[in-house]
Amino acid sequence: MMMVNGFTAREAQVGIKQIKDFFERRLADNLNLTRVSAPLFVKPETGLNDNLSGTEKAVSFQMRKYQQNLEIVQSLAKWKRMALKWYGFGNGEGLYTDMNAIRPDEFVDNIHSIYVDQWDWEKVIREEDRNLEYLKEVVISIYEAFKETEDFINAQYPVRLYKKLPDEITFVSTQELEDKWPDVTPKEREHMITKELGAVFLYKIGAALKSGKPHDLRAPDYDDWELNGDILFWNPALGQAIELSSMGIRVDEKSLIKQLKLADAENRMSMEYHQKLLGGELPYTVGGGIGQSRICMYFLQAKHIGQVQASVWTEDEIIRCEDEGIFLL
C-alpha cells in the first residue's frame, strides 16, 4: 500500500484538504484578504504574465478560431495589482486566489515539479508603507498563519506529526548571508542559515551583492529588490531548506525604471501594465505566492512533492524514488 510518512495515500489526501482549508482561512483573516477568481492564461502583449527570473519561457497556445496568442500564467504577480484596481480594494484590503501554472523549464526533484499550485495574494498599502519594517510586519502575520496551521494539523495526527517551527521567524538579508559564508553558493547559504534557525525570511533578492552577483534572480517589474524576500523553513524530512513563499513590496515608478534598466528590459515599458504603473494608475501593494503542495509536504513530513500532488516525472526520477521507497501519485 502506498504510504506517506505513515499515512496511506487516502489518509494523506484528507490531511492535504485539512491543511489547505485551515491555512487559507488563517491567511485571509490575518491579512484581511478576500478570495477572487483568477485567469489560467493571459495575452502576452499585456505584460501581465510573470517572467519569474527572466529566463523561463511560458507555455503558449492559440485560440485557433480567432488567431489570438495566449500564455499560461507563470504566476499572477502583476495581474493581482491590476485586479485590486478593478475590484476597488482600498488601503489595508487585499485579495487572494488559487493559482495553477505550468513551468516546463523546471528541473524536477523532491521539491520541484513542472506543475505549480499556490495561493497568490496581494494587498493595497500606502506609499509610506513601502519600507522594511512594514514588510516585516506582513511576514510575521503570515508566519502566525503557518504556526496556527501546524498546531491544528498536529492535533489531528498527534502520533505521526510533531512541532517543527520555532516560535519566531528570523530576518536575515542576503548581504548578511554572503558576509557570513562568502565561499559557498547562495543555496548552500540558505541551507546553512535555515538549519541553524529553523525559519528565516531572507530579504533583498535580485540586486547585485558586494561580490558583484545577486543572491538569486528576480523579475525586474514586480518586486522591489530592496523590499522583497523568501520565507524558508528547515525541512527535517529532507534535511534541507525549503522555500514556502516568495513575496515583497511591489515596485513603484522609480524602482520599476531602475530595475528595468539594470535588467536590460526597458522595452517592457511600452506594455499596458507598465504604462499604467508609470502613469500612477495602479495602487502601491505588497504581495506574494505561497506554495500549496509545499506546505502540505512540509506539514505532513513527506519526502517528495509528488507524494502530495499529481504531476509528471522523468523516468530517472521515478526510478530514484522507487529505490528510496517513495511512491509518487
Q: What is the DSSP string of 152-192?
A: HHHHHSTTT----S-SSPEEEEHHHHHHHSTTS-HHHHHHH
State the pLDDT confidence band at 5, using cuts at 50, 70 and 90: confident
Residue 275 is among the residues annotated as catalytic for this protein: no
Percent of the chain predicted with pLDDT > 90: 82
Residue 50 is among the residues annotated as catalytic for this protein: yes
Of 22-26, 46-50, 198-202, 273-277, the range with the lowest mean pLDDT is: 46-50
Q: Which residue has the higher pLDDT, 328 or 167?
A: 167
Q: What is the pLDDT of residues 88-142, one digit of tens each?
A: 999 999 999 999 999 888 899 999 999 999 999 999 999 999 999 999 999 999 9
Cβ neighbours of residue 238 under 8 Å, at least 6 residues apart?
A: 110, 111, 303
Looking at 243, 268, 311, 320, which residue is catalytic? 243
Q: Is 225 exposed, middle or buried (0-12, 13-18, 19+ CB in 10 A)?
A: buried
Q: Is there a contact between 127 and 252 (Cβ–Cβ < 8 Å)?
A: yes
Strand-pair category, 199-203 with 68-72: unpaired
Cell of 98: 488559487
Spatial separation of the C-alpha atoms in residues 38 and 100, rounded to whole Å: 10
pLDDT at 50: 77
What is the average pLDDT across 41-63?
83
pLDDT at 51: 73
For residue 7, pLDDT beyond 90: no
pLDDT at 58: 87
Looking at 18, 24, 26, 50, which residue is catalytic? 50
Q: Which residue has the higher pLDDT, 155 or 103?
A: 155
Spatial separation of the C-alpha atoms in residues 269 and 278, rounded to whole Å: 8
DSSP H or E segment with residue 225: strand 223-235
Radius of gyration of the chain (CA): 20
For residue 221, pLDDT beyond 60: yes
Instruction: Tell me which amino acid residue 30 is.
Output: N
| Phi, psi dihedral angles at 92 (to 5 degrees) | 85, 0
Is the domain covering 3-314 a CATH 3.40.50.720 domain?
A: no
Q: How long a stretch of residues is the chain? A: 329
Looking at 26, 81, 103, 189, which residue is catalytic? 103
Cβ neighbours of residue 252 under 8 Å, at least 6 residues apart?
A: 127, 130, 224, 284
Looking at 74, 75, 118, 301, which residue is catalytic? 118
Looking at 24, 122, 230, 252, which residue is catalytic? 230
Place of cell 494587498: 123
The neighbour count for residue 60, using CB atoms within 10 Å, is 12
Q: List, in sequence order, every residue forming a beta bridge with 122; answer none if it has no partner.
A: 95, 287
Spatial separation of the C-alpha atoms in residues 171 and 133, rounded to whole Å: 11
Residue 291: which of 33, 1, 25, 24 has the closest Cα?
Answer: 24
pLDDT at 241: 97
DSSP H or E segment with residue 188: helix 186-197
Residue 160 is among the residues annotated as catalytic for this protein: no
Cα(first)–Cα(last) distance of the chain, in Å?
12
pLDDT at 97: 96
Spatial separation of the C-alpha atoms in residues 166 and 185, rounded to whole Å: 25
What is the average pLDDT across 12-32?
97
Spatial separation of the C-alpha atoms in residues 41 and 61, rounded to whole Å: 9
Residue 118 is among the residues annotated as catalytic for this protein: yes
For residue 53, pLDDT beyond 80: no
For residue 224, pLDDT beyond 70: yes
Top mean pLDDT of 66-75, 171-180, 319-328 is at 171-180
DSSP-derived letter for residue 252 is: -
Model-level pTM?
0.93
Spatial separation of the C-alpha atoms in residues 47 and 78, rounded to whole Å: 8
pLDDT at 104: 87
For residue 54, pLDDT beyond 80: no
DSSP H or E segment with residue 170: strand 170-173
Question: Structural domain boundaries of the chain?
Answer: 3-314
Residue 272: C-alpha distances to residues 44, 48, 138, 252, 297 (Å): 10, 8, 29, 15, 38
For residue 42, pLDDT beyond 70: yes
For residue 3, pLDDT beyond 70: no
For residue 24, pLDDT beyond 90: yes
Residue 240 is among the residues annotated as catalytic for this protein: no
Residue 175 is among the residues annotated as catalytic for this protein: no
DSSP-derived letter for residue 82 is: H
Looking at 18, 245, 246, 307, which residue is catalytic? 246
For residue 233, pLDDT beyond 90: yes
- What is the average pLDDT score of the chain? 94
Of 46-60, 80-94, 154-168, the range with the lowest mean pLDDT is: 46-60
pLDDT at 243: 97
